[in-house]
Amino acid sequence: MEKRYPALRIVSLLYKILALLVFLLFIVGGVIGGGGGLIGGLILGTLTAVFIYAFGELFRLLIDVEENLRRIVNAVKKPEF
Question: Residues 8-51: pLDDT tens digits?
Answer: 999 999 999 999 999 999 888 877 877 667 787 788 889 999 99
| Res 35: pLDDT | 66
- pTM attached to this predicted model: 0.80
Q: Is 35 part of any domain?
A: yes
Residue 57 burial (10 A CB sphere; 0-12, 13-18, 19+): middle
Which residues form the domain of 44? Answer: 6-73
Number of domains in the chain: 1
Residue 11 lies in a domain: yes
Which pLDDT score, from 0 to 100, does residue 11 have? 95
Residue 79: inside a domain, yes or no? no
Q: Say if 1 falls within a structural domain.
A: no
Say how far apart CA 12 and CA 51 lie, in whole Å.
13
